[in-house]
Amino acid sequence: MELTEDVKKSLLKLPAGNIADNNTYIAHQGVMDSSIKPINASVKMIGRAFTVACFPGDNLALHQGIYAAQPGDVLVLDCKGYDQAGHLGDIMTTACKLRGLAGIVINGSCRDKEDIRASGFPVFSKGVNPSGTVKESLATLNVEVNIGGVPVRPGDLIFGDADGVVVIPKEHEDEVIKKAFKKYNREQQILQELYAGKTTLEIYGFDRLIYQKNSMHS
């Protein structure tokens, strides 16, 4: 699909859970490990992955990645999970924002947490650490990486919200998104039914399920 501004605005209505529930073509439903958390849980992110393989504790590759990525991309940084240094902070976050990137996912730590939060730019990080880094190792750009137990390929669709990050394989994105919207619309209907007085037991048929299970054990 073409990620126009209207398409992105529409996709950002979805919660990560609706996407994950229908993202069955990839390990763990494409959900990165819960250690990859949003710095600012009030912002959401959608864009295509631009991947950067980095050396742990070294952020030269990150600077390369920022300017190799294209506006609208999500910068996916694989620092091999190293969380004993702040690979990026407010300066690099601002550079990404001015570059027009959609967000950052880093398999490693960042720093300047409060400044990043205040910027309103989506950053999903394994941790926070104020320690500095060296500038020695060059990037390997646009290769498959593994972040939080999930493979990420260049061009895969990356979605992030307060619950975490979901990777949608590009060849299945249309089907996954279609199903996610179907579930989202159904859940909006369920909310209306709840406000109208129905119970979750009635709506989902759990009252019958509970009756059947009790009958089996009686």
* pLDDT tens, per residue, the chain with 218 residues: 999 999 999 999 999 999 999 999 999 999 999 999 999 999 999 999 999 999 999 999 999 999 999 999 999 999 999 999 999 999 999 999 999 999 999 999 999 999 999 999 999 999 999 999 999 999 999 999 999 999 999 999 999 999 999 999 999 999 999 999 999 999 999 999 999 999 999 999 999 988 898 988 76
Q: How much is the pLDDT for 138?
A: 94
Taking alpha carbons only, the member of 56, 31, 8, 23 closest to residue 175 is 23
**Dihedrals phi, psi of 157, to nearest 5 degrees:** -85, 130
Crossing angle, helix 60-68 and helix 90-99, to 10 degrees? 10
Q: How much is the pLDDT for 218?
A: 67
**Dihedrals phi, psi of 169, to nearest 5 degrees:** -55, 135
Residues paired with 76 in a beta bridge: 51, 105
Alpha-carbon dihedral of residues 76, 81, 84, 87, nearest 10 degrees? -10
First CA to last CA across the chain, in angstroms? 53
Q: What is the pLDDT of residues 43-65, one digit of tens each?
A: 999 999 999 999 999 999 999 99
pTM for the structure as a whole: 0.95
Q: Tell me which residue has tokens 């199903």.
A: 179
